[in-house]
Amino acid sequence: MRLKDKVAIVTGAASGFGEGIARRFGDEGAAVIVADIAEDAGEAVASSLKKGKFVKCDVTSSADVGEAVELAEKEFGGVDVLVNNAGTTHLRKPMLEVSEEEFDKVYAVNVKGIYLGAIHGVPALKKRGGGVILNIASTAAIRPREGLTWYNGTKGAAVTLTKSMAIELAPEKIRVCAINPVIGETALLTSFMGGPDTPEMREQFISGIPLGRMSRPADIANAALFLCSDEAAFITGVCLEVDGGRVI
């Protein structure tokens, strides 16, 4: 049990990578707050965990993120791990065709969400004498593809914030790391592709990945488990590619 007696909040845990992380953490003994805007799917994930609670939480709302932290403290006694996984993208298209509204939304969820996670999460982590913040960034930050320019920028911010937060929070014994997944088999896939999920379209993306496939929730969950466990006690500020070699 690598997360025995730990309490984790995982945002965007109703599906995809977040669901994989919540389930893996649950299997390793953690109590998990499933924080998502998707109610039915989020409830279903939370109720299938040994110690799971769902909270309807929009990570762009300070009140909602505050409530998620309060729920963790009330139900499970505190917070040890915060996974900022909730994310969205604009459709893959030329950069000048992305509307201001789409731009604002992707920055609100992917960047402001990390800010609000820190505002509400750091005081709770401090109460426990330290902990871990894990940001789900992307290979898009390191090796951007065309058509996703503004989304790529949000993930660049996530990587820089990870390193900056790691420095500033080290004296508090709060480690801050990130995972950079390569394109993965989740609900966001067709938006990243910018078209229907056909074998030809998949081949176009897979051809740039040396290990020859897309990422899967289990790949991201296994890396998250390591980085959030005490096995990674001396690791902070690391942005770990889980990408089958894509950024080499």
Ligand X SMILES: NC(=O)c1ccc[n+]([C@@H]2O[C@H](COP(=O)([O-])OP(=O)(O)OC[C@H]3O[C@@H](n4cnc5c(N)ncnc54)[C@H](O)[C@@H]3O)[C@@H](O)[C@H]2O)c1
Q: Report the interface residues with ligand X, using CB under 6 A.
A: 11-12, 14-18, 36-38, 57-60, 85-88, 109, 136, 138, 181, 183-184, 186-189, 192
Structure tokens at 221: 């969950």
Is the CA virtual torsion 52, 83, 241, 175 positive or negative? negative
* Active-site residue (options: 151, 181, 182, 241): 151
Cα separation, 134 vs 58, whole angstroms: 18
Sequence length of the chain is 248
Structure tokens at 10: 């995982």
Residue among 122 and 193 whose Cβ is closer to ligand X: 193
Q: Which residues pair with 184 in a beta bridge?
A: 215
Whether 198 and 128 have beta carbons less than 8 Å apart is answered as no
Cα separation, 121 vs 115, whole angstroms: 10
As measured in angstroms, the least distance from the Cβ of 129 to ligand X is 28
As measured in angstroms, the least distance from the Cβ of 131 to ligand X is 20
As measured in angstroms, the least distance from the Cβ of 221 to ligand X is 11
Cα separation, 189 vs 180, whole angstroms: 15
Cα separation, 242 vs 222, whole angstroms: 10
As measured in angstroms, the least distance from the Cβ of 172 to ligand X is 25
* 107 in active site: no
H helix count then E strand count, the chain: 9, 7
Catalytic positions are 151
